[in-house]
Structure 1
C-alpha cells in the first residue's frame, strides 16, 4: 500500500464511475480513507451499485452512518456472518481489513465473546502485513483487543495490548493518543492515580497532533472518563463536571464503553443527590442498547452495582438487597458488595466479605482501599473498635502521601463512625477536613421507630438466633405472647420476616454495638 496514492486513486475511480475499482479500494483500504477523507468514503459507498456491494461495504457504511448497514432482507447478524465467511486467509491485507470491520460490528451487536475470538485470530495475519499496511491496521487491532479484554475484566491483559498499540508505529497520531487514554482509564479503574495522570499527560500531548474523523468522540471517551474518575476520587466537583460536560458535548454514538460514563455519574450521584436523574439515564441506556447488557462485562457490572447503591441511598433497601442477591457475585465487585451489605444491615456478612484474608488474587488498589474502609465500618458496627481502627489505619497508609486523591473512598463510610474512629487514627485529620469542605452529607431521614423495652429484648433474642419457644422460656411468658411481640416489631420496622427486621434494625441502630446476627435455631424463629 502506497498511502499517497490511495485517496487520489479512489477519488478518480468514484469520478469515473469505475465501480469495480471503488469496491476493491474500499474493501482493502477503508480504515485508511475513513481517517483521512471520510466524506470521500461516504460518496464511494453511496454511489456503489447494488451488484458491487459486498458484506464489508455494508459494515463500513454502518460505521459512517449507524443504522444504515442492514435492510429488511439483511439482518445485522446475517451481514456479519456473511462478512466472516469471506475472510480470505490467503490474502492477509484483505483478511485484516475485513476482520476489523467485522470486529466493529460484533462489538456494536454486543457480541463481545465472538469479537474477542476473532481479534485473536487476526493477530498473526496482521503481523504479515507490509510496512505501510501494518502502520495503518495493527495499532487499530491492538486497541480492539485491549478494549475487549478490559470489558472482560482482564485489566492486566488489556494494559499489555494498549501498551503495544502505544508503541506500534502508525501513520496516525490518533492511535497513540487513543492508547494513552485507554491506559489512563485502566489505571484510574485500578486506583493508580500517579500512573493514570502520567498517561493522561501523554494523551493530552498526542491529542494536539491527532486528526478529526468520525469516531474521534469514541476515541476520546476513555481519557475523558479517566479524568472524570480522578476528579471524583479527589471530590473536585468543578473538574468532574467539566470533564463530564465534555463527554456529553462530544457524544455522537453510544458504544459499550458508555457504561463507564454511567458508572462514574452514579458514584457522584451518591454524594450529589441526583440519584433519580442518573437512574433514568441508566434505564434509558439499558432499554435502547440492550445488546451491551446481554453478556456480563466489567462496564455493565459496574453500572449494575452502582445502581444498587443508588437504590440504597434512596432508602429502597429491600429492593436493593433483592437486586444484590439476584446479581450473583460474578456481576459485582467484592468491595462494592461489602459496602452494600453494610448499608443494607448485613453487618456480619460485610465484615466477612471485606476481610483482607478473603481478598481474591489481583485485587486492585481501589478495591483494597474500599474493602478496608468497609471492613472498618463493619467492625465498628460489631463493636470491635480495635479491629476497626487497624483497618482504617491500613486504608490511610494505602493512600501513601496522596490521601487527598482518594477522598471519595472515605466519603462513602458512615460519617459518625469515621469521626469517632479518627480520634485513634490522627493521620485521618486531613481527610476529615477535606470531607467537611467537599462532601457534607445531609442528615439521614430515617423513620423514627420506638420499640418498647420488652420488644427490644425480643429483638435481641431474635438477633441471637433463638426461636419462639426458647425466647418464651427465657422471658417466662407464653409463646403466643412472644409471637405477638414479634409481630409488633415487624410492623414497626416494616418487615415481613426475621431477616428484613434485623437488617432494618441494624441500619437504624436499634441493635447494641457488637451484636452478631446468628442464624435462626429453627424455622419458627425466622417467621
Structure 2
C-alpha cells in the first residue's frame, strides 16, 4: 500500500505539511441547564444523539476558563469540535449563567443530511414557541417578528445540515436585523469563514484546540475519580492526546482501574489504554453512518493533515475529522488516529510503517523536517528520527517544542549513543529527570583543543562533552563541570573562527547549555559570554531562552539597566504555550520580580511570583527562584513564612542542594537574613557556621551583617572588607558590603572611612539602579550616614516596617571549651567521665558547668540542653568538637 497509497494521496492533494492534533469521538449531550423562568424554551430530543458515559463529575468537564467567553457583548458564539470534545458542557454552563429574564430557545440537532430549508423552518417554529409545522416557512422578516426582548438561540449540531453555510448566512442576516438576539452554534464542521465572523459585532469562536484540557485540567479530571496524577505524568498524557476531552476521561477511568497512569515514562500509551483507544475507534467505524467510509478512513489514518478541499464534507460533519483554526487543514483527533493506525496495521494488506516512512521521506523532500520527524516517530524508525534531528533540531524545536519533547522522550536508550545531538537536546529539555554522564574526556592544552576544532568530529566531540558537563553539574560536581565547560568553550570559539554558518544553530544550543552550567556555578561573566553568542546566532527558541537567562544573570548581580534591556529583548521573542513556555519564561520572570523588588514594588513582585508558583522538581533554576521568593518575604516583613517556604523547597530538591552551587550560596545568605529579621541571631550564626561560610562574597556579607546586628562592628568590618575587595563580587553584593562597612566605621568612630564607603555605595547604586541593599541597613545608620555625608539614602529604601529589629540583637556565643562541654553533656557523660576525658578534676568540670549554665540562664543539665537546642548551639558544638 505504502508507495501506491502515497501516490494516490498526492494525486488527490491529500498530503499536506504541518501537524498538531486535537479532540476525540463521542459527543455528550447532557441535560439542558437553563433558568427555570424560561418556560417557553423550545427543545426537542435530538434525533441523532450519541451519549458518552463519562463516569466522572461533570463539573470537571465544564472548563471554567470558558465561562466568561459568552457575555453581554457577544452576539454570535461558535463552539466547534469533533465528537467527544465537550462542546455541549460548555454551552450548558453558559446557559446556566444567563439572567432569569433571558429567553432561551434551543433548536434540536437535525437529522444528518437535513436540508437547509427544513432546518430553517424548525428554527422559525422554535422562535414562535410552537412545535406545529403549519405556517412555518422561514424568512428573516418572519423570524424577526417572533423575537420580542432579549433572546438566546442555541443551535445544536448545525453542521448536520447539507448546506450549513447557507443556514449560517441567514442567521447572520437575522443577527443584523435583531439587536436583542444572540446565537450560540454548536457544530463539528466549519460553517462561518473568518470574513463572516469578523463582520459580526461581538463574536467568539472556540475551536477544537481550545476545547482540549490543559495539563492542570487533566490533573483535575483524574482527581474526580480519586487519582492524584503527578504533573509529569499529566504532561506526558497531554502530549500524547493533546488534552482531548473524551480520551482524557477514558484515561482517568482506566488509571483508576489499573492503579497507575495510562502513559508510560517514554510518553507512549500503556497496552491497556491503546487497546481501549482501538476499541473506541472500532466502535466509530462500525456506526451505520460511518461504516461506508471505513476503507477510506483507514487508508488516510497515517496522514497527519489533509487538504480540506479533497475531503468529503460528511467526514467532518460526522466528527471524524477536525479543522484546525490556525491553517484550516483537517486532521484526525490524536487519540482517534492512534486507534485507527492500530486497526489499519491489522486490516490493510500493506505495511503501514512503510507508508509512514514514505510520508517522512516526502515531508523531508519538501523541506518540512518537523513533520518528517513526527512521521518517522510514528513508524518507530529511530535511525531516521535521529538523522533528521541531528541536522534540523533547531527548526524542529522552534516549530513545535511540545512535539520535539515527545519525540525525544520516546527515543529509545539503545539508539541514543549514535546521536549526540538527540542526547544533548533530550538532556537539556527534560530537565533534572535526566542525568547523562557519557565518557567525554577533553585535553587541557590550547593546542590540543585547537586540533579538535579543526577535525571533522569537532561538533560531535563538543556535543558529547557538553552532555557530560551537564551531567556533572546535575550530580553536584560544579567545579568539574565548569572546568570541562571552559574547554568546550575554547573548541566552539575555534570552530566559530572557521566561518561555518551551517553549524550556528548547533553551536548556539551548546552555548546555551554551557551558560546554564556557568550561571548555576556562580560564574556570571562566563555565562554572559556564552549567552551573547547563543542569542546572536541561535534559533528563535534559543534566542528567547538566552534573553531571559541573560536578564536573570544581570538581575542577580544588581545591574538593573541591563536586566531591563534583556527583558525587552526577551519580550520580542514569542514563547510556546503550556509548561515548556512556562519553563522558558522562568528566568525572565525571576528577573522581572527582582526588578520590582529593587523598586520596592512588593505587590507587583508578588503577582509575578504567584504566576510562577512553586518550581517543578525538574527545574534546574529552582534555587534561584527560591532565592527571589525569599527576598520578597524578607522585604514584606514575613521572615518566618519565608523560612518555612525555603525549608520546603530545600527538602524537595535536597539531592541538588550542594555547597558548590550558586543557589546554595544565595539561599544560605538569605536564610541568615531571614533569621536576623525574625530576631533569632543564634539561628543565623548556626547557619553560617554549619556551612563554614568564610569565603564567597554573598556569604561574607551575610556574616558581616550578623556581626553588625549583634554588636560586633570590628568583626563586621573584617568580613565586609573581604567581600568588597573580592574579584568575584557583583554590584549588589558590593553595595551591601560597603554599606555594612560604612555602618561599622560609624560605630567605631571613623567618620572619614564611613563617608567614603557610603558615597561609593550610593554612586554604584545610582549607576546600577540597585537600591535593595539600602533597605537592609538599619534606619539609624542610614540617617547618621546621610547626615554625615550630605548624601541621602534612596527614598525607596524606607520600608515600613523595617527589615531588621532596631538595636543590637541578643546572641549567646560559646567558647570552644564551652561548646565541647555542651557536647559532652548532650552525650550523657558523667562529671567523672568528662573530667577523665579532659584530664582535669571533677571540681574543675563543676566550675565550668556553672559558668555554662549562667551563660544559658539555666540551672540543670536538662534545661541546658533544651536552651542550647532553642539557640541552635548543639549543632555549633558538633562542629567545634569535630
Please give the TM-score of this superposition, normalised by the length of structure 2: 0.44
- Among residues 553, 558, 570, which one is paired with 1:191 in the alignment? 558
Q: Of the two, which has the highest radius of gyration?
A: 2
CA distance in 2, matches of 1:295, 1:248: 25
The answer (yes or no) to whether the contact 1:411–1:439 under 8 Å persists in 2 is no
The answer (yes or no) to whether the contact 2:617–2:653 under 8 Å persists in 1 is no
CA distance in 2, matches of 1:426, 1:164: 44
- Among residues 228, 238, 256, which one is paired with 2:603 in the alignment? 238
Please state whether the residue corresponding to 1:174 is helix, strand or coil. helix
1:150 aligns with 2:519: yes
The answer (yes or no) to whether the contact 2:697–2:723 under 8 Å persists in 1 is no
Residue 413 of structure 1: CA displacement? 1.1
The answer (yes or no) to whether the contact 1:196–1:226 under 8 Å persists in 2 is yes
Going from structure 1 to structure 2, the CA distance change for 1:190 and 1:256 (only over 3 Å counts) comes to: same
Residue 398 of structure 1: CA displacement? 3.2
CA distance in 1, matches of 2:557, 2:625: 16
CA distance in 2, matches of 1:80, 1:60: 14
The answer (yes or no) to whether the contact 1:159–1:183 under 8 Å persists in 2 is yes
- Among residues 717, 722, 739, which one is paired with 1:373 in the alignment? 739
> Who is 2:706 aligned against?
340
1:318 aligns with 2:682: yes
The answer (yes or no) to whether the contact 1:296–1:331 under 8 Å persists in 2 is no
- Among residues 375, 396, 418, which one is paired with 2:762 in the alignment? 396
CA distance in 2, matches of 1:493, 1:396: 46
> Who is 2:695 aligned against?
330
Going from structure 1 to structure 2, the CA distance change for 1:32 and 1:371 (only over 3 Å counts) comes to: same
Residue 350 of structure 1: CA displacement? 0.4
1:416 aligns with 2:813: no
1:364 aligns with 2:733: no
CA distance in 2, matches of 1:159, 1:224: 18
> Who is 2:482 aligned against?
116
- Among residues 547, 554, 558, which one is paired with 1:180 in the alignment? 547
Residue 300 of structure 1: CA displacement? 1.4
Contiguous gaps of at least 5 residues in structure 1: 70-75, 450-481, 497-527
Going from structure 1 to structure 2, the CA distance change for 1:3 and 1:390 (only over 3 Å counts) comes to: farther
The answer (yes or no) to whether the contact 1:355–1:371 under 8 Å persists in 2 is yes
Going from structure 1 to structure 2, the CA distance change for 1:493 and 1:197 (only over 3 Å counts) comes to: farther
CA distance in 2, matches of 1:483, 1:175: 64
Residue 385 of structure 1: CA displacement? 4.7
> Who is 1:524 aligned against?
none
Matches within 5 A, 1:14-413: 14-26=377-389, 32-41=395-404, 44=407, 52=415, 54=417, 80-81=437-438, 91-92=457-458, 94-95=460-461, 104-123=470-489, 124=491, 127=495, 134-168=503-537, 170=538, 172-204=539-571, 206-207=572-573, 209-212=574-577, 215-248=580-613, 252-294=616-658, 296-326=660-690, 327-331=692-696, 333=698, 334-355=700-721, 359-385=725-751, 387-400=753-766, 405-413=769-777
CA distance in 1, matches of 2:466, 2:666: 27
CA distance in 1, matches of 2:623, 2:389: 32
> Who is 1:7 aligned against?
370
Going from structure 1 to structure 2, the CA distance change for 1:448 and 1:201 (only over 3 Å counts) comes to: closer
The answer (yes or no) to whether the contact 1:59–1:102 under 8 Å persists in 2 is no
CA distance in 2, matches of 1:263, 1:180: 20
CA distance in 1, matches of 2:633, 2:712: 23
The answer (yes or no) to whether the contact 1:55–1:83 under 8 Å persists in 2 is no
Going from structure 1 to structure 2, the CA distance change for 1:189 and 1:14 (only over 3 Å counts) comes to: closer
Residue 93 of structure 1: CA displacement? 5.3
The answer (yes or no) to whether the contact 2:511–2:534 under 8 Å persists in 1 is yes
Going from structure 1 to structure 2, the CA distance change for 1:117 and 1:444 (only over 3 Å counts) comes to: closer
Please state whether the residue corresponding to 1:371 is helix, strand or coil. helix
The answer (yes or no) to whether the contact 2:616–2:622 under 8 Å persists in 1 is no
Going from structure 1 to structure 2, the CA distance change for 1:446 and 1:67 (only over 3 Å counts) comes to: closer
The answer (yes or no) to whether the contact 1:374–1:413 under 8 Å persists in 2 is yes
Going from structure 1 to structure 2, the CA distance change for 1:485 and 1:416 (only over 3 Å counts) comes to: farther
Going from structure 1 to structure 2, the CA distance change for 1:360 and 1:82 (only over 3 Å counts) comes to: closer
Residue 302 of structure 1: CA displacement? 0.7
Residue 91 of structure 1: CA displacement? 4.0
Residue 62 of structure 1: CA displacement? 6.3
Residue 180 of structure 1: CA displacement? 2.5
Cα shift readout 1:357-377 (whole Å, capped 9, x = no counterpart): 962235332222111211122
CA distance in 2, matches of 1:297, 1:343: 27
The answer (yes or no) to whether the contact 2:713–2:744 under 8 Å persists in 1 is yes
The answer (yes or no) to whether the contact 2:557–2:732 under 8 Å persists in 1 is yes
Residue 392 of structure 1: CA displacement? 2.7
Cα shift readout 1:278-333 (whole Å, capped 9, x = no counterpart): 22332233222233223512221111111122122222222321321332323552
Please state whether the residue corresponding to 2:695 is helix, strand or coil. helix
Residue 196 of structure 1: CA displacement? 2.1
The answer (yes or no) to whether the contact 1:376–1:387 under 8 Å persists in 2 is yes
Cα shift readout 1:32-70 (whole Å, capped 9, x = no counterpart): 53443345445646766776565867876666666876x
Residue 114 of structure 1: CA displacement? 4.4
The answer (yes or no) to whether the contact 2:512–2:534 under 8 Å persists in 1 is yes
> Who is 1:459 aligned against?
none
CA distance in 2, matches of 1:117, 1:484: 51
Residue 337 of structure 1: CA displacement? 2.5
Cα shift readout 1:202-228 (whole Å, capped 9, x = no counterpart): 222x22x44458643333222222221
Count of aligned residue pairs for this structure pair = 445
CA distance in 2, matches of 1:43, 1:484: 66
Going from structure 1 to structure 2, the CA distance change for 1:377 and 1:131 (only over 3 Å counts) comes to: same
Please give the TM-score of this superposition, normalised by the length of structure 1: 0.70
The answer (yes or no) to whether the contact 2:472–2:478 under 8 Å persists in 1 is yes
The two structures, once aligned, show a CA RMSD in angstroms of: 4.3
Residue 138 of structure 1: CA displacement? 1.3
Cα shift readout 1:108-140 (whole Å, capped 9, x = no counterpart): 443434443454454536938996752321112
CA distance in 1, matches of 2:508, 2:535: 8
Cα shift readout 1:246-281 (whole Å, capped 9, x = no counterpart): 3328x5554332211222222232232322332233
Residue 232 of structure 1: CA displacement? 1.2
The answer (yes or no) to whether the contact 1:229–1:264 under 8 Å persists in 2 is yes
